[in-house]
Amino acid sequence: DGGITQSPKYLFRKEGQNVTLSCEQNLNHDAMYWYRQDPGQGLRLIYYSQIVNDFQKGDIAEGYSVSREKKESFPLTVTSAQKNPTAFYLCASNRGSGELFFGEGSRLTVL
Amino acid sequence: GEDVEQSLFLSVREGDSSVINCTYTDSSSTYLYWYKQEPGAGLQLLTYIFSNMDMKQDQRLTVLLNKKDKHLSLRIADTQTGDSAIYFCADDVNNNDMRFGAGTRLTVKP
């Protein structure tokens, strides 16, 4: 079955540590996205990529980094520069427009 | 940026109709979407409407679009406990900028 796989589902981090969230899709989609979800707020776009080896900052890119070395993969690194990283992170993909297909999310908690 | 707004909570009794409202500001949106999020999971597309339509019906779901007032609504007929979730309104401002509302948490009481 085609879909988007995010891992890990739950992640705990000590302050000052970098962590990387994995996102893999087998939908053959060109575009991939990372969103952050906080309670009572809509999804906020962190980074997006329309094509391999290219990505763009979203609304809240500070403290995050991404790479897009393969079409199927779009990992997100939450760096120590992100001051409030505790959140639910959602990866999504589409053909470049239209319906977004989402993964199941990764919940990051900073201890 | 452009905003999408929706109320945060809605509570209904099982069997009643639910109406979730949304307002948006960008008049150039081509499609407007409703996504559903179950607890601890990602979002799934529930339905969408093309911007030149006024209404779209899909089984228990009815989407109404008032483009003049930039108002979108989702009506769920005969609401069931399995409909309890967070519902997000979204519009595609451009291909890489889908704007989401804060989400309406629907609680269905038996």
Mean pLDDT of chain A: 93
Q: Which long-range contacts (CB under 8 A, 24 or more apart) does B44-50 make?
A: B44/A102, B45/A99, B45/A100, B45/A101, B46/B74, B46/B87, B47/B74, B48/A99
Has residue A50 got a pLDDT over 50? yes
**SS3 of residue A65 by DSSP:** strand
Compare all CA atoms of chain B with the CA of A48 and give the residue at the minimum distance: B96
Residue with tokens 């500070």: A62
- Over 60: is that where the pLDDT of A47 sits? yes
Residues of chain B positioned with their CB less than 8 A from the CB of A45? 97
pLDDT > 80? residue B95: no
Percentage of chain A modeled with pLDDT above 90: 82
Residues B33-91: tens digit of each pLDDT: 999 999 889 999 999 999 888 999 999 999 999 999 999 999 999 999 999 999 999 98
Asked whether the beta carbons of residue B41 and residue A99 sit closer than 8 angstroms, the reply is no
Chain B partners of A105 at a C-beta cutoff of 8 Å? 40-42
Q: What's the rounded mean pLDDT across residues B14-26?
A: 94
- pLDDT band at residue B1 using 50, 70 and 90 as cut-offs: very low
**C-alpha closest to that of A16 among A76, A65, A63, A80:** A80
Residue B92 sits at the chain A interface (C-beta within 8 Å): yes
Nearest to A64 by CA among A40, A46, A52, A48: A46
Q: How confident is the model at residue A22 (pLDDT cuts 50, 70, 90)?
A: very high
Per residue in A79-98, pLDDT tens? 998 889 999 999 999 987 78
DSSP A15-53: TT--EEEEEEE-S--SEEEEEEE-TTS--EEEEEEEETT
A65-83 pLDDT tens trace: 999 999 999 999 999 988 8
Q: Which of residues 16-75 of B touch A (CB under 8 A)?
A: 31, 33, 35, 40-45, 48
Q: Using 50, 70 and 90 to split pLDDT, how confident is the model at B2?
A: low
Q: Where are the beta strands (DSSP E) in chain B?
A: 4-6, 9-13, 18-24, 31-37, 43-50, 55-58, 61-66, 71-76, 85-94, 97-100, 104-109
Residue A95: per-residue pLDDT:
84
Cβ neighbours of residue A53 closer than 8 Å, sequence gap 6 or more: A68, A69
Please indicate whether, in this complex, the C-beta atoms of A99 and B48 are within 8 angstroms of each other.
yes
Question: Given this model, what pLDDT does residue A90 score?
Answer: 97
- The answer to whether B65 and B51 have CB atoms below 8 angstroms apart is yes
Q: How many CB atoms lie within 10 A of CB A40?
A: 8
Query: Which chain A residues touch B95 with a CB distance below 8 Å?
Result: 31, 96-97
Supply the pLDDT for residue B96: 65
